[in-house]
Amino acid sequence: MRNFIKWITSAKVNKVLCIITFMFVPLALLTVFTYIPFGKMIGFSFYDMKYIGDREFVGLKNYAEVFSRDDCFKALKLSLYYIAASFVQLGLALYFATLLSFKTKGGGIFKGLMFFPYLVCGIAVGFIFKFFYTRGFVLDTVLQWCGFNLDNLPYWLKDTSINNISVAATSVWRYMGQNMVLFIGAIMSVDAEMYEAAAIDGAGGWQKFRYIIFPSISTIIVLNLILAITGSLSVFEPPYVITGGNFGTGTYFVIMDKLAHASQKVGLASAMAIVLLVIILIATLLQKLFFRYFIGEGEHEAIRAVRKRKKREALAAAGNGGVQS
């Protein structure tokens, strides 16, 4: 018995025990709720099947259909709206974050007001914006105050030239403040002395932003860009809760949802999901390479910068370089 206790408390065994017990629950959950369903979904994609009844193995037919249907990839084009929206969102967030990191009267209130939409539930967003965009309601009224004539205003959710922008704007509304707070946090973590030094050098606001703030938070900006672009490919909620995907606002996932539930084409919908997943993976990889090359990521320097420097170093033939921080 004593031996057993000794054995169990011995560092090595204890370590193994610790690894196993600590990892068991999360890994079990990950397997049960992510990877088993994922495997099943891959399986579904090779079948012609409904939720009920017989299934029939059809090989790659579902995949062929995803590529030959005109609505699937047309829907992916809508992602451009959401990518554009996420650029606007990040730009605004960066702008406001910079403003608010310096002394501003009422800064806390502005920050709070702009952050608040992040806390609103998705269903509520649907209700709120249907109301907001209704003809003659909120948006139209405000624009009329500004001197617009109602007759010249579009139908925000009906006109196909603008409705995707309307819907994408709601996602800017919702997440801009959260991005802003993230950026403020990142800016705040920059050493205050740097600003002081810059001020002594007579740097203006823009210079401070360009040379101190931006470089020091570029990592998090890049990270958010990557998330924004992959997120834009798989947009579901805004059109789902606001327009139901009608009038050309159906994104890839909304179309998939319709196929799966209104037409019971589970196999096809699963194939669509897998195709999108592959696209997202490729997009993520490309972006990573891209950013690694031009800007650098995390603690790695940009590859381009490294090359330049190496070239310089080689030219100077100096032996003291090469420190990769």
Partner 1 sequence: MNKAKMKKLLWAIVKYATLVFGSFVSVLPVVVCVITAFKSPEEYAETNVMTLPKSWTYFENFVQAWKQANMALAFRNSIIILICVLFFSILTGSMLAYVLNRFKFPGNGLIRNLFLFASLLPGIAMQVSVYQIMYSLGWINSLFGYIVLMCGTDVISIYIFIQFFENISVSLDEAAIMDGCTYFGVFFRILLPLLKPAIITVMILKGVGVYNEYYMANLYLQNKNSFVTVATSLFKFTGPLGNQYNYICAGVILTMLPALIVFILCQKQIYGGLAQGAVKG
Partner 2 sequence: MRKNAKRLLALALTGAMTLSFAGCGSKDEGEGKKKDDGEFSLTLDQIKLGEDYTDVKADLKFLTHKTDVIDTKFKEYITEFQKLYPNINIEYEGITDYANDITTRLSTGDWGDICMIPTTVDKDDLGTYFVKLGDQEKLGETYVKDWLNNFTYQGSTYGVPSMVNAQGIVYNKRVFEESGVKEVPKTPDDFLAALKKIKDNKKVTAPLYTNFAADWTMNAWDAYISASTGDPDFMNSGLTKGKEPFTDRKDGTGPFAVYNLLYEAVKQGLTEEDPTTTDWEGSKPMINKGEIGCMVLGSWAFVQMRDAGDNGDDIAYMPFPISVNGKQYASVGPDYNYGINVNSSKDQKIAAMCYVKWLVEESGFAGGEGGLSVVQGDALPDALSSFGDVELLVDNPAPEGEENLFNDINNDSELGINVSGAIPKATLEAATQGSQNMEELSKEWNEKWTTAQKNNGVE
Q: Which of partner 2, partner 1, none does residue 321 bind (CB under 5 to 8 Å by kind)?
A: none
The CA-based angle 9-11-15, given to 5 degrees, is 95
Q: Please compute Rg for the chain using Cα positions.
A: 26
Residue 60 contacts partner 1 per CB under 8 A: no
Token pair 């995707």: residue? 164
Question: Shortest gap between Cβ of 165 and partner 1 (angstroms)?
Answer: 15
The three-class DSSP label of residue 248 is coil
The verdict on 258 binding partner 2 (CB under 8 A) reads yes
Decide: residue 4, CB within 10 A, 0-12 exposed, 13-18 middle, 19+ buried.
Answer: exposed
Q: How far is the CB of 290 from partner 1 (least distance, A)?
A: 18
Q: Which of residues 159-198 bind partner 1 (CB under 8 A)?
A: 173, 176-178, 181-186, 188-189
155 binds partner 1 (CB under 8 A): no
Q: Decide if residue 134 touches partner 2 (CB under 8 A).
A: yes
Q: Which does 263 bind (CB under 5 to 8 A by kind): partner 1, partner 2, none?
A: partner 2
Q: Which helix (H) or strand (E) holds 57?
A: strand 55-57
Binding-site size for partner 1 (CB under 8 A) equals: 92
The span from the CA of 296 to the CA of 325, in Å, is 12
In degrees rounded to 5, what are phi and psi of residue 305? -65, -40
DSSP letter at 302 equals: P
Q: Which of 133, 173, 253, 291 binds partner 2 (CB under 8 A)?
A: 133
For residues 242 and 250, what is the distance between their CA atoms, to the nearest angstrom? Answer: 11
* Contact status: 51 vs partner 2 (CB under 8 A): yes
**Candidates 56-64, 135-143, 150-158, 286-294; binding stretch for partner 1 (CB under 8 A):** 135-143
Q: Which stretch binds partner 1 (CB under 8 A): 61-69, 70-78, 229-237, 307-315?
A: 229-237
Determine, following the binding rule CB under 8 A, whether residue 262 of this chain makes contact with partner 2: yes
- According to the binding rule CB under 8 A, does residue 260 interact with partner 2? yes
69 or 309: CB nearest partner 2: 69
Q: How far is the CB of 189 from partner 1 (least distance, A)?
A: 5
Q: Which helix (H) or strand (E) holds 56?
A: strand 55-57
Of 245-274, binders to partner 1 (CB under 8 A) are: 253, 256-257, 260, 266, 269-270, 272-273
CB of 236 to partner 2, least distance (A): 12
State in Å, rounded, how far the first CA of the chain is from the last one.
52
Residue 257: name the closest of 36, 38, 129, 75 by CA: 75
